[in-house]
Chain A
Amino acid sequence: MTTELFNAEFATITGQLKSYLLRMTASVHDTEDIVQDTYIKAVGKLNTFRGDSSLKTWLFAIASNLAKDNLRAQKRWTENVGDICREEAMGNQQFFQEAMQIRATSPQGAFEIKEHITFCFTCISKSLPLEQQLCLFLKDVYEFKVNEITEILNTSEAMVKYYLHTGRAKMINIFDGRCAIINKEGICHQCSELNGIFNPKQKFQEELVKIEMAKEAASGDKEHLFDLRMKIVQEIDPFESGAAALQLHHLEHNRIVMEKYI
């Protein structure tokens, strides 16, 4: 593959690569660094790329290795990240002032429930063991096949299936206990709280029924509700969406809080 062709292909994959790395690291800065390092590393060993796998798989493998190096030294977040960061935000006037400024002035400053669901998933997924988080995103969000994930993570098919299954099971359990959208007994109401702050004229319940996962909540089928949640995550690019600026600001806040907390 020529460098020109590689550059053109890399450009088409960069968007997905960036969103994947952001979801792994929760840091825009680290994401940009890893994307750049992925490019340098890939160009440096382009002569070793034989096309046995797709270029996308090959690049995700390089990026995943770099992300793992970056994350290995860091502690995993806790599943109550939402509660911890909410508590901190409540006492941080500057955070709200900045958020309101973004909401009022940025073309990517909208607040949408779906965006917050995605943001929330990113934060909570960081409580999973790293391998589970990687497998979950690679399969359920970026739609790699199990055999491609074995190449990306350099592990066996059995291990990919194990991490995927246990990661899903843990996330289903966490959301069932926390998320008031899918469970009336859920303890987390941040979507409605934040919607009230950023969209004061909007009626939360009217917005909620536009979301399939919320509409089907009464079914109680936890796995199906999880699949619907993953569909929402799949549809949103955290850098390009209409709410990106607001959510990235919120994510940076949570990252700083969690780094102190853990």
Chain B
Amino acid sequence: MKRFITIITLMTATIATAQNGKAITEKKTFSRSTSVATEIKADPAIVWKLLTNAADFPRWNSTVISIEGKIEVGEKIKLKSTLAPKRTFKLKIKEVEADHKLVWGDGQGTRVYNITGKGNTTTFSMTEKIGSFMFPLYAKHIPSFDQSFEQFTADLKKEAEAIQNLKK
């Protein structure tokens, strides 16, 4: 029972931290998963619009250099990130559930964005899982996503809240 309470306490602490915009990375032998979540004081539709307007990303998101293409199911986008500025990630838009969920990825990893909320409050979360059977061989060459995820989330929060607070 004591052990069960400890686990529940740890889980609660983890969720609380995650919603504060702090990234959490879980490492396994064949995969690595980074998550971040935060509460945004803006209408979910604003957050969704920001996340699905590819060309506009570099204006508000300091972790993205460019995104070419359309964020629509089945489309492919070319993403350049500050995490690896010399690389262009060719990603497929795997799932789009308007105002709620966006998934993109390639053969090595998948990123999931989730939006929940109502009115002027949105809970935003983002998770990227990378891995394969070969993952242990190249894992050490992949930089940590933590800082980039936290910056992404902070930028999104700042921009969405600025839009929400526009003069009426």
Interface residues of A (CB under 8 A from B): 145-147, 156-159, 161-162, 164-166, 169-170, 173
Contact = CB atoms under 8 A, between A and B. Distances in A.
Interface string B47-74: 0011001001001000000000000000
Interface in B29-86: 42-43, 45-46, 49-50, 53, 56, 59
B43 A158 contact: yes
A164 B46 CA distance: 12
A171 to B, nearest CB: 12
B8 interface: no
A22 B19 CA distance: 48
Q: Is the interface of A mostly helix, strand, loop or mixed?
A: helix
A158 B137 CA distance: 47
Given A169-B59, A173-B59, A162 B45 contact: yes
Interface stretch (B125-133, B150-158, B159-167): B159-167
Nearest to B168: A146
Contacts of A166: 53, 56, 59
Nearest to A145: B168
B67 to A, nearest CB: 15
A157 to B, nearest CB: 8
A1 B50 CA distance: 43
Nearest to A168: B166
Contacts of A170: 59
A161 B163 contact: yes
A175 to B, nearest CB: 15
Contacts of A173: 59
Contacts of A159: 45, 49
Interface of B: 42-43, 45-46, 49-50, 53, 56, 59, 162-164, 166-168
A170 B60 CA distance: 11
Please name the 3 residue pairs, one residue from A and one from B, whose CB atoms are nearest each other, closest first. Answer: A158-B43, A158-B45, A146-B168
Given A145-B168, A146-B168, A161 B46 contact: yes
B122 to A, nearest CB: 10
A9 B65 CA distance: 51
A159 B49 CA distance: 8
Given A162-B49, A164-B166, A166-B53, 15 more contacts: A146-B167, A146-B168, A147-B168, A156-B43, A157-B43, A158-B42, A158-B43, A158-B46, A158-B164, A161-B163, A165-B163, A165-B166, A166-B56, A169-B59, A173-B59
A76 to B, nearest CB: 12
Contacts of A146: 166-168
Nearest to B44: A158
A161 B166 CA distance: 7
Contacts of B59: 166, 169-170, 173
B63 to A, nearest CB: 18
18 contacts: A145-B168, A156-B45, A157-B43, A157-B168, A158-B42, A158-B43, A158-B163, A158-B164, A159-B45, A161-B46, A161-B163, A162-B49, A162-B50, A165-B166, A166-B53, A166-B59, A170-B59, A173-B59
B161 to A, nearest CB: 11
Nearest to B50: A162
Contacts of B46: 158, 161-162
A161 B53 contact: no
A156 B45 CA distance: 9
